[in-house]
A and B are shown apart, each in its own frame.
Chain A
Amino acid sequence: MKTTRVISASLLALTCVLPAAAQVKNYKEIKSPPLRSVPIPVPKRVTLPNGMLVLMLEDHELPTIEVVTRVRTGTRLIPADKAGLGEVFGDVLRTGGTKTMTGDQIDDFLEARGARIETGVDDTAGFAEAWSLKQDFPEVLKVLADVLRNPVFADQKIAVAKSQVGTGIARRNDNPQQIMFREFEKVIYGVDSPYARVTEFATLGSITREDLAAFHKKYYVPNRIILGVVGDFSPQDMEAKLKSAFGDWSKGPEAKDATAAFQTTSKPGIYYVQKDDMTQSDIIMGHLGIERKNPDVYAVAVMNEAFGGGFAARLFSNVRSKKGLAYSVRGAVDYNYDYPGTFNVWMTTKTETTAAGIDALLEEITNLVGTPPTDDEVKMAKESILNSFVFNFDSKEEVLIQQMVYAYFGYPADYLSRYRENIEKVTTADVARVAKKYVHKDQLAILVVGPNKGQDRPLTSFGNVVPVDITIPKPSAPAGAAAAKKSAP
Chain B
Amino acid sequence: MKGSRNLRRIAVAAALAALVLAAVAPASAQSLADFEKKVTVKTLPNGWTFIIAERPEAPVFSFSTHVNVGSAQEVPGITGIAHMFEHMAFKGTSVIGTTDYAQEKVALEKVDKAYAAFDTERRKLKADPAKVKELQKAWKDAQEDADKFIRKNEFGEIIDRNGGVGLNAGTGADSTVYFYSLPSNKLELWAYLESERFINPVFREFYKERDVVKEERRLRTESNPVGRLIEQFVMLAFSAHPYEHPVVGYMSDLDSFSREDAQKFYETYYVPSNLVTSVVGDVKASEVLPIIEKYFGRAKAGSPPPPIRTVEPPQVGEKFIRIPDPAQPFYVEGYHKPATTDPDAPIYSSIVDVLSNGRTSRLYRSLVRDKQIAAAAQSFPSFPGDKFPNLFIVFGVPTPGHSNDEVRDGIRAELDKMKKQDVSAEELAMVKTRAKATLIESLGSNQGLANNLAEYQTTFGDWRELFRAVDKIDKVTAADIRRVSNQLFTDTNRTVAVVETVAPASAGGAAGR
A279 touches B222 (CB 8 A): yes
Is B9 touching A61 in the complex (CB atoms < 8 A)? yes
Q: Provided the pairs A20-B300, A62-B16 are in contact, do residues A276 and B504 lie with their beta carbons within 8 angstroms?
A: yes
Known: A107-B360, A174-B327. A5 touches B290 (CB 8 A): yes
Q: Let me know if A280 and B219 touch, CB within 8 A.
A: yes
For B215, list chain A residues within 8 Å (CB): 280, 324-328, 348-350
Per-position binary interface string of chain B over residues 33-75, scored 1 when its CB falls under 8 Å from any chain A CB and 0 otherwise: 0000000000000000000000001111000000000000000
Residues on B with C-beta less than 8 A from A131 are 441
Is B19 an interface position by the 8 A CB rule? Answer: yes
Asked if B483 is at the interface of the complex by the 8 Å CB criterion, the answer is no
Q: How far is the CA of A281 from the CA of B298 in the complex (A)?
A: 46
Give the distance to chain A from B187, nearest Cβ to Cβ, in Å: 8
B399 interfacial contact with A, CB 8 Å: yes
Contacts of A108 in B (CB 8 A): 360, 426
Q: Which residues of A contact B161 (CB under 8 A)?
A: 380, 383-384, 387
**B213 & A327 in contact (Cβ 8 Å cutoff):** yes
Q: How far is the CB of A198 from chain B (nearest CB, A)?
A: 15
Q: Which of B195-230 contact A (CB under 8 A)?
A: 196, 199-200, 205, 207-216, 218-219, 222-226
Do A24 and B59 form a contact, CB below 8 Å, given A107-B359, A280-B223, A323-B208?
no
Task: Tell me if B321 is interfacial: C-beta within 8 Å of chain A.
Answer: no
| A350 with B360: CB separation less than 8 A | no
A134 touches B20 (CB 8 A): yes
Residues of chain B contacted by A278 (CB below 8 angstroms):
218, 222-223
Listed stretches B114-122, B162-170, B253-261, B308-316; interface member:
B162-170
A63 touches B185 (CB 8 A): no
Residue of A nearest to B508 (CB): A453
- Cα distance A395–B441 when bound, in Å? 13
What CA separation (Å) do A31 and B286 show in the bound complex? 19
B327 touches A112 (CB 8 A): no
Chain A residues with Cβ below 8 Å from B209 are 321, 324
Q: How far is the CA of A414 from the CA of B90 in the complex (A)?
A: 37
Query: A121: shortest Cβ distance to chain B, in Å?
Result: 19
List, in ascending order, chain B residues with CB within 8 A of A395's CB.
57-58, 444-445
Which one of B154, B155, B218 lies within 8 Å of A280 (CB-CB)? B218
Chain B nearest CB: distance from A176 CB in Å? 6
Q: Given A323-B208, A387-B183, A274–B399 Cβ distance below 8 Å?
A: no
Contact residues of B: prevailing secondary structure: helix
Q: Tell me the chain A residues, 252-297 only, with Cβ under 8 Å from chain B.
A: 274, 276-280
- Chain A residue numbers with a CB within 8 Å of B293 are 8, 12
Contacts of A386 in B (CB 8 A): 163
Using A12-B294, A321-B205 as known contacts, say yes or no to A163 and B372 having CB atoms under 8 A apart: yes
A111 pairs with B434, CB closer than 8 A = yes
A114 to B473, CA, bound (A): 15
Q: Which of A292-336 contact B (CB under 8 A)?
A: 309-312, 316-317, 320-328
Q: Please tell me if A60 contacts chain B, counting CB pairs below 8 Å.
A: yes
A8 and B294 contact, CB distance less than 8 A: yes
How far apart sit A434 and B102, CA to CA, in the bound complex (Å)?
Answer: 42
B132 contacts the other chain (Cβ, under 8 Å)? no
Q: How far is the CA of A77 from the CA of B113 in the complex (A)?
A: 64
CB-defined contacts of A176 to chain B, threshold 8 Å: 223-224
- Nearest CB of chain B from residue A336's CB, rounded to whole Å: 22
For A15-40 the 0/1 string (1 means CB < 8 A from B) is 10000110110110010111111100
Q: Are A166 and B399 in contact (CB under 8 A)?
A: yes
CA distance A36 to B196 in the complex (A): 27
CB closest chain-B residue, reference A305: B160
Measured in the bound complex, the distance between the Cα atoms of B397 and A164 in whole Å is 10
Considering the chains assembled together, what is the distance between the CA atoms of A327 and B214 in angstroms? Answer: 8
Interface string of A75-114 (1 = CB under 8 A from B): 0000000000000000000010000000000011001111
Please, which residues of chain B bring their CB within 8 A of the CB of A389? 163
Contact indicator B429/A8 (Cβ below 8 Å): no
Interface size on A, residues (CB 8 A): 93
Q: A482 an interface residue at 8 Å Cβ cutoff?
A: no
Residues of A near B60 (CB, < 8 A) are 390-391, 394
Q: What 1/0 mask marks residues of chain A from 103 to 137 whose CB sits below 8 Å from any chain B CB?
A: 00001100111110000000000000001011100
A175-B224, A280-B222 known; A26 vs B95 contact (CB < 8 Å): yes
Chain B residues whose CB sits within 8 angstroms of the CB of A460 once the complex forms: none
Mark each residue of chain A from 233 to 269: 1 if its CB lies under 8 Å from any CB of chain B, else 0: 0000000000000000000000000000000000000
Question: Does A425 belong to the interface (CB within 8 Å)?
Answer: no
How many angstroms from the CA of A38 to the CA of B215 in the assembled complex? Answer: 43
A321 and B152 contact, CB distance less than 8 A? yes
CB 8 Å contact bits of B115-152 with A (1 = contact, 0 = none): 00000000000000000000000000000000100001
Distance A388 CA – B59 CA, assembled complex (angstroms):
11
Q: Are A112 and B440 in contact (CB under 8 A)?
A: no
Q: In which size bucket is the chain B interface?
A: 35 or more
Q: Is B219 a contact partner of A327 (Cβ separation < 8 A)? A: yes
Q: Are A451 and B440 in contact (CB under 8 A)?
A: no
- With both beta carbons as reference points, the residue of chain B lying nearest to A132 in the complex is identified as B437
- Flag whether A475 is at the interface (Cβ < 8 A): yes
B443 at the interface (CB under 8 A from A): yes
A35 pairs with B328, CB closer than 8 A: no
Asked if A452 is an interface residue, CB under 8 A from chain B, the answer is yes
Q: A134-B20, A388-B163, A391-B60 are in contact. Are A316 and B153 (CB under 8 A)?
A: yes
Q: A274 near B157 (CB under 8 angstroms)?
A: no
Question: Which of A30, A133, A328 lies in contact with B440, CB distance below 8 A?
Answer: A133
Tell whether B158 is near chain A: CB-to-CB under 8 Å.
yes
Asked if A167 is an interface residue, CB under 8 A from chain B, the answer is: yes
Against B, the Cβ 8 Å flags (1 = close, 0 = not) of A371-398 are 0000000001001101111110111000
Question: Chain B residues with Cβ under 8 A from A4's Cβ?
Answer: 188, 287, 290-291
> Which residues of chain B are within 8 angstroms of A11 by Cβ–Cβ distance?
294
Tell me if B368 counts as interface (CB < 8 A to partner A).
Answer: yes
Q: Once the chains bind, are B436 and A114 in contact (CB under 8 Å)?
A: yes
Contacts of A135 in B (CB 8 A): 20, 23-24
Q: For A166, give its contact among B199, B219, B300, B400 (CB under 8 Å).
A: B400
Could you give, for residues 445-478 of chain A, a 1 whenever the CB lies within 8 Å of some chain B CB and a 0 otherwise? Answer: 0000001110000000000000000000001000
A34 touches B219 (CB 8 A): no
Question: A439 vs B300: C-alpha distance in the bound complex, in angstroms?
Answer: 51
Are A24 and B192 closer than 8 Å at their CB atoms? yes
Q: Do A380 and B20 have beta carbons less than 8 Å apart? A: no
A171 contacts the other chain (CB 8 A): yes
How many angstroms from the CA of A160 to the CA of B147 in the assembled complex? 57
B17: nearest residue on chain A (CB-CB)? A63
Q: What residues of A have a CB within 8 angstroms of the CB of B162 in the complex?
A: 32, 383, 387
- Cβ proximity bits B502-513 to A, threshold 8 Å, 1 near / 0 not: 001101001001
Please, how many angstroms separate the alpha-carbon atoms of A106 and B503 in the complex? 42
| A61→B426 contact, CB < 8 A | no
Contact A63 B19 (CB under 8 A): yes
A133/B20 in contact, CB under 8 A: yes
Given the complex, which residues of B lie within 8 Å of A207, measured CB to CB?
A: none
The answer on a CB contact under 8 Å between B375 and A164 is: yes
The reply to whether A8 and B290 form a contact with Cβ atoms under 8 Å apart is: yes
- Pick the contact of B505: A32, A95, A163, A276 (CB < 8 A): A276
B58 and A390 form a contact (CB under 8 A): yes
Instruction: Give the distance to chain B from A42, nearest Cβ to Cβ, in Å.
Output: 15
Contact A326 B212 (CB under 8 A): yes
Given contacts A280-B223, A311-B90, A348-B219, 4 further A-B contacts (CB under 8 A): A8-B294, A64-B440, A324-B209, A348-B215
Q: List 25 A-B contacts (CB under 8 A).
A: A5-B286, A21-B298, A23-B298, A32-B185, A32-B189, A38-B59, A61-B57, A62-B444, A64-B440, A107-B359, A107-B360, A111-B359, A111-B430, A111-B434, A135-B23, A160-B369, A164-B375, A280-B223, A310-B157, A321-B205, A324-B207, A324-B215, A350-B214, A380-B161, A383-B161
